[in-house]
Amino acid sequence: MTPALEIRGVRFGYGDLTAVWDVSLTVPRETTVALVGRNGAGKTTLLSGVAGLLRCQSGSVLLEGDDISKLPAHTRARRGLSFVQEGKRILRELTVRENLVLGTFGRPASRKDAKALIDQMCTRFPPLAEKLEQPAGALSGGQQQMLAIAQALVNRPSLLLLDEPASGLAPVVVDEVLALVSELKREGLAILIVSEGGEELLSGVADEVAVIDQGHLVLTAAAHEVTAEDITAAMGIGPDSGTVPVAR
Ligand SMILES: Nc1ncnc2c1ncn2[C@@H]1O[C@H](COP(=O)(O)OP(=O)(O)OP(=O)(O)O)[C@@H](O)[C@H]1O
């Protein structure tokens, strides 16, 4: 079956700086792939490039078999790619409802369909339903992350890119976010989730793991076939480095 996402030998960077070198990675349908790596390894750059926020210096990106490498970000969104950027990219001054409505603009929906999609999110995320007419900035950190994910879901994606969705959240909220990721996977979504640590592995959310270091993909494996030590070693984190290792 054609994979949800196929990344073939891509390079992405900023001006003269190349931050991701010749990376190839596949995300099969209904599969969650965790992309892990140290600070500055190139995780966000790779996701931003796949989403179309950075120009492809070389290589190609295929969404459900179609080459989207040259398409602008908004067209990729319309094709079913949703990107939740790190740091809760919601509009704090707008209400929760308005943020959700914005999410429906990626793939044009009739007013009736857009309303149905927002109703679905209210059922899925009761705390958002309760605060639908309040400014998004009034939500807790965890609820803002839920809103960011809900905003991505109303785009009816076939591929969801999640950049460190658990970052800065209380442990109980991290568990909620990871439970949601598992649920979305069960519902058939393909997910590429970035993590600096190993939360996704810990909770068994990821089916596959890809490790990136200094812009190079250094390990890809089925999650059940690698140990925490394999991953830590691939990340270039030694036992004496002082960096918290990936836990399992
Ligand atoms: N806007 C930018 N302009 C120039 N260089 C950048 C920019 N963003 C990132 N970089 C550089 O690109 C490299 C990869 O950064 P990137 O943010 O992709 O890493 P990361 O693995 O996501 O790290 P983190 O976990 O800290 O977010 C780093 O050397 C970083 O300094």
Residues near 72 by beta carbon (within 8 Å), at least 6 away in sequence: 52
User: Looking at residues 158-168, what average pLDDT do you find?
Assistant: 92
Options 1.10.8, 3.30.43, 1.20.58, 1.10.287; which CATH number does 89-156 get? 1.10.8
Nearest CA to ligand 1 atom 2: 14
What's the distance, Cα to Cα, between the start and end of the chain in Å? 31
Task: Quick: pLDDT tens for 90-102.
Answer: 899 999 999 999 9
The verdict on the CB of residue 196 being under 6 Å from ligand 1 is: yes
The verdict on the CB of residue 42 being under 6 Å from ligand 1 is: yes
Separation CA 63–CA 65 (nearest Å): 5
200 closest CA partner among 148, 237, 165? 165
**Cα 157 to ligand 1 centre (Å):** 26
Do 80 and 124 touch, CB atoms closer than 8 A? no
For the range 215-220, what are the long-range contacts, defined as Cβ-Cβ under 8 Å and sequence gap of 24 or more? 215/18, 215/19, 215/20, 215/21, 215/23, 215/41, 215/42, 215/45, 216/21, 216/22, 216/23, 217/23, 217/24, 217/25, 220/25
**Cα 86 to ligand 1 centre (Å):** 12
**Cα 13 to ligand 1 centre (Å):** 9
Confidence label for 244 from pLDDT (cuts 50, 70 and 90): very low
Alpha-carbon distances of 84 from 21, 112, 212, rounded to whole Å: 23, 25, 20
What is the H or E stretch that residue 60 is in?
Answer: strand 58-63
The verdict on the CB of residue 19 being under 6 Å from ligand 1 is: yes
For the cut 70, the answer to whether the pLDDT of residue 52 exceeds it is yes
Do 178 and 32 touch, CB atoms closer than 8 A? no
The verdict on the CB of residue 23 being under 6 Å from ligand 1 is: no
For the cut 60, the answer to whether the pLDDT of residue 215 exceeds it is yes
Position with higher pLDDT, 233 vs 73: 73
The verdict on the CB of residue 163 being under 6 Å from ligand 1 is: no
Phi, psi of 162 (to 5 degrees): -120, 115
The verdict on the CB of residue 44 being under 6 Å from ligand 1 is: yes
**Ligand 1 pocket, mutate which of 10, 38, 45, 214 (most atoms under 8 A from CB):** 45
Residues of the chain with pLDDT > 70, as a percent, come to 92
Q: What is the model's pLDDT at position 241? A: 43
For the cut 60, the answer to whether the pLDDT of residue 164 exceeds it is yes
Ligand 1 atom closest to the Cα of residue 215 is: 14
Helix spans in 107-221 (H): 111-124, 126-130, 141-153, 171-186, 199-202
216 closest CA partner among 19, 53, 78, 3? 19
Confidence label for 242 from pLDDT (cuts 50, 70 and 90): very low
Separation CA 208–CA 158 (nearest Å): 18
For the cut 60, the answer to whether the pLDDT of residue 240 exceeds it is no
Position with higher pLDDT, 224 vs 7: 7
**Cα 219 to ligand 1 centre (Å):** 20
| ipTM score assigned to the predicted complex | 0.97
- What is the CA 90 to chain-centroid distance, rounded? 15
For the cut 70, the answer to whether the pLDDT of residue 210 exceeds it is yes
**Cα 213 to ligand 1 centre (Å):** 12
